[in-house]
Structure 1
Amino acid sequence: MDIGTQNVENKIIVFKKGTRPSQRFEIYKKYGLAVEKNFRSLNIAICRAKRPEVFSLLSEEPWIESVEEDVSVYIQVIPESVKIYSLRGQEIPWGIEKLRAPECWKSFNGDEIRVGVIDTGVDATHPDLKENLKELMGTYKKNLISDDNGHGSHVSGTIAAVNNDIGVVGVAPKAKIISIKAFDKNGSGQLSGILEAIDWCIDSKVDVINMSFGISNDSNALKRVIKEAYDNGIVLVAAAGNNGKKDGVLYPAKYEEVMAVTACDRRGVFAPFSSQGKEVDFIAPGVDVLSCYNNGGYVLMSGTSMACPHVSGACALILSKKRIKPSELKEALARTARSLGYSKEKQGAGFIDVRKALSIIE
């Protein structure tokens, strides 16, 4: 082992708001920290130290709000649910029909709306996706932007698969996908990569961010970047989680600024794997959902990961009629949602009816 690199750790340092660059630099110098990534506008930095005990001393500094572990983050799919699906011609997936999205397409189809998909990447040559791919970048590994898992392509297809007489159609078939690969081939990523991805979405002025992932522990850094995105007028949608527990909603779905989505099947039955909690906003199709996959393919998948992009796509449809604030969009969806007969902890305001929601947007 190289003696110069042993005991190296990365941590997320959250500085108090208003901290000046010179004050941050003073901290780096005093503790011998190497800055891996600096989010200047957020007062957050990813730092490395050769001696782990250094980080425990930082809490005593007046300019530090918290020092966090760079924890692992996971996509919210049920692994054993993935089933290859053969298509002839084009098929509109059941969930998109249930949302009544096809009834909107003659007038509104997500045209020019930019949806940031923070996921495992995307199959950039997929015949149902390539036309709607606007930008691709990666935070997991800078030179790796393609989907080596399939999850990101599936999520992107639910949002914006092209209406082209082949394969499937997305909820908003003319929305533009901004793909940010933040997860590896196993569907695992790091919190630092998520922070970078959301920060990049803010700078790129996306309209919606789809987050089909979650972590169980709160994070000051994640909370801060989520609030920054929301304050910039970005609509935020996240998977509630697949732990099946009461009061089990994961972060970032648990944050007030984010729409938390649980899953149901085609009969409207609540998916038992869905996390529950008072933070739940909507329920959407999440069992045996048909969408795009790697290598130009199509599969069925289940999870709140699959429910989440149905809501993101619905938001893109509505925004293509009128650019409204995230709070106004959420209110329109909630006012027109249909109850499936479950508690708020399971369904929030209910199942989205995007046609009705569009009808009340003036």
Structure 2
Amino acid sequence: MHKHKIKLYSVSGIFALFGGLSGAYYGDDLGRGLYAMLGAENSQNSDMSVVSQAASEKDRVPGQYIVVFKDDAGQNASAQSFVESYSVETTHTYSKVFKGMAARMSTASLAKVLSDPRVAYVVEDRIVKMSSTTKKPSTTKSTPTLISKPTATPKSTSSTARPAPQAKNKQTLPTGIDRINAEKKINTGADINVAVVDTGIDLNHPDLKANIAGGKNCSTGTTYNDGHGHGTHVAGTIAALDNLSGVVGVAPNAKLWAVRVLDNNGSGTWSSVICGIDFITSNAPANGGKITLANMSLGGSGTSDNNCGNTNNDPFHKAICRSRDAGVTYIVAAGNSGTDASLSVPASYDDAVITVSALADSDGKAGGTGKEVSGYKDDTFPIFSNFGKVVDIAAPGVNILSTTKGGGTKSLTGTSMATPHVTGAAALYLKTNPGSSWTQIKDALISLAEKLGAGHTDPSGKHPEPVVRADTL
């Protein structure tokens, strides 16, 4: 039996790269993969078994699984039929990205499901929780977490705080928005629909509520309102209103969809994230919907098969690729562990996403003449930001001011904060280039971005990627 692995990586701090889906997978090259059940070709195949790695035992959701049906299984493959036949309790059903379900089941029921000829494979669900401690960068992390704080901060001889943001009328112009020159655009991304796959969005925030078009709750509770704050922060960078108060986003007239896949503690599962992707896909252009962009400031340990998860049976990768094919471009965080992003998912899904690293900027201006910000030199790459060939573009991600739950604003740090700058820029591009594919959006953002040495530097030698610019779109 061939085993393949996928797992989400961990990042410390308040939630940024939320490993809201703590991977589930198997791998023939790394022994640190998560639990998984490899689907057999037919019900007589004795290779249907559970592969477990004890190191990730604490991350598993006991008795909860993701079941992927075969594409040719037909109408008989439905969650309800499995409920009736095998006494499973479904938590999510999937119909757009693939036919399948997430379900709780006993060991006896699992054995029956594994032997069902309609099943392609089964993966044990995984959980991720917010970490409250800071850890040094490592390539061997096995516990996925978020990205709203760096995993490491260099020592600084300066205690100077970030300069006060510049004022625009009575509202604050965040330095991140200023740095990419978004405020210079007449284009506001009007009516471009963007999904924020996160902890939800504060539905009553005065800087956001007029732009919220709808949403989906794939987590606990009954609403997609944000009980944590991370998703609201991300949403504000994308599309906070230009309304004389609060802050302003990159694309202040874009429409936001709150896709809540993480609970009020910043915890979620693979099954909940795939639920969110399935919802987005049902509202994608190919299915008569309007959502064309999705921001994913989340992730975890794992690698890509560069084949949309079809080689290593990765349902997360598969779901994003199916959603991409339906007309949705996914912009994702590179990660905060200071390692090669090819060891992280969804950052390493180079065949389906745009991956974003973080830049430190203190004054909203190019050139590196500003003061240090949070211990990092102006217009350089912070050491927590992941790097590598799969990283496409960078954006401001240190001490970023944006909206937070409860109606106010807050500064956070991480590639989670960098990613929505690029998502907002993509909305501006789509407004003037409707119908563009994800590759066209990706190529345009990169080709029109600020090249290394033209306004920022990289003393580490690890970040050749350019910095997004909104005024060139």
- For Structure 1 versus Structure 2, the TM-score category normalised by the shorter chain is 0.7 to 0.9
Segment drifting more, 89-98 vs 38-47: 38-47
Are residues 1:91 and 2:147 paired? no
Distance 1:216 1:56 in 2: 28
Corresponding residue for residue 28 of structure 2: none
Distance 2:459 2:331 in 1: 20
The answer on whether the counterparts of 2:332 and 2:353 sit within 8 Å (CA) in structure 1 is yes
Distance 2:99 2:297 in 1: 26
TM-score, structure 2 normalization: 0.68
Deviation at 1:109, TM superposition (A): 0.7
Match among 395, 400, 418 for residue 307 of structure 1: 418
The answer on whether the counterparts of 1:160 and 1:176 sit within 8 Å (CA) in structure 2 is yes
Match among 302, 321, 324 for residue 230 of structure 1: 324
Deviation at 1:185, TM superposition (A): 2.1
Aligned AA (1:252): P
Match among 191, 199, 202 for residue 278 of structure 2: 199
Corresponding residue for residue 94 of structure 2: 39
Distance 2:199 2:78 in 1: 33
The answer on whether the counterparts of 1:283 and 1:348 sit within 8 Å (CA) in structure 2 is no
Aligned AA (1:318): Y
Are residues 1:274 and 2:385 paired? yes
Match among 442, 451, 463 for residue 339 of structure 1: 451
Deviation at 1:146, TM superposition (A): 1.8
The answer on whether the counterparts of 1:230 and 1:236 sit within 8 Å (CA) in structure 2 is yes
Q: How does 1:15-26 map to 2 (within 5 A)?
A: 15-23=69-77
The answer on whether the counterparts of 1:66 and 1:220 sit within 8 Å (CA) in structure 2 is no
Deviations 1:43-78 (A, max 9, x none): 221122122x65366555544332112112443211
Match among 327, 330, 351 for residue 467 of structure 2: 351
Segment drifting more, 270-279 vs 70-79: 70-79
Q: Which has the higher helix share?
A: 1
Distance 1:223 1:336 in 2: 28
Distance 2:219 2:463 in 1: 33
Distance 1:17 1:80 in 2: 40
Corresponding residue for residue 244 of structure 1: 338
Distance 2:235 2:205 in 1: 11
TM-score, structure 1 normalization: 0.87
- The alignment partner of 2:320 has SS state of helix
Match among 193, 201, 225 for residue 114 of structure 1: 193
Distance 2:265 2:348 in 1: 24
Deviations 1:315-340 (A, max 9, x none): 01111112111111111111122233
Aligned AA (2:383): P
Deviation at 1:17, TM superposition (A): 2.1
Corresponding residue for residue 297 of structure 2: 212
Distance 1:69 1:243 in 2: 25
The answer on whether the counterparts of 2:388 and 2:463 sit within 8 Å (CA) in structure 1 is no
Deviation at 1:97, TM superposition (A): 1.3
Distance 1:203 1:344 in 2: 42
Distance 2:67 2:102 in 1: 6
Any unmatched runs of 5+ in structure 2? 1-60, 129-144, 153-160, 285-290, 304-312, 362-377
Distance 1:176 1:348, change over 3 A: farther
Aligned AA (1:38): T
The answer on whether the counterparts of 1:282 and 1:347 sit within 8 Å (CA) in structure 2 is no
Distance 2:330 2:461 in 1: 19
Any unmatched runs of 5+ in structure 1? 1-6
Distance 1:223 1:344 in 2: 30
Deviation at 1:29, TM superposition (A): 5.5
Distance 1:322 1:112, change over 3 A: same
Q: Which has the higher strand share?
A: 1
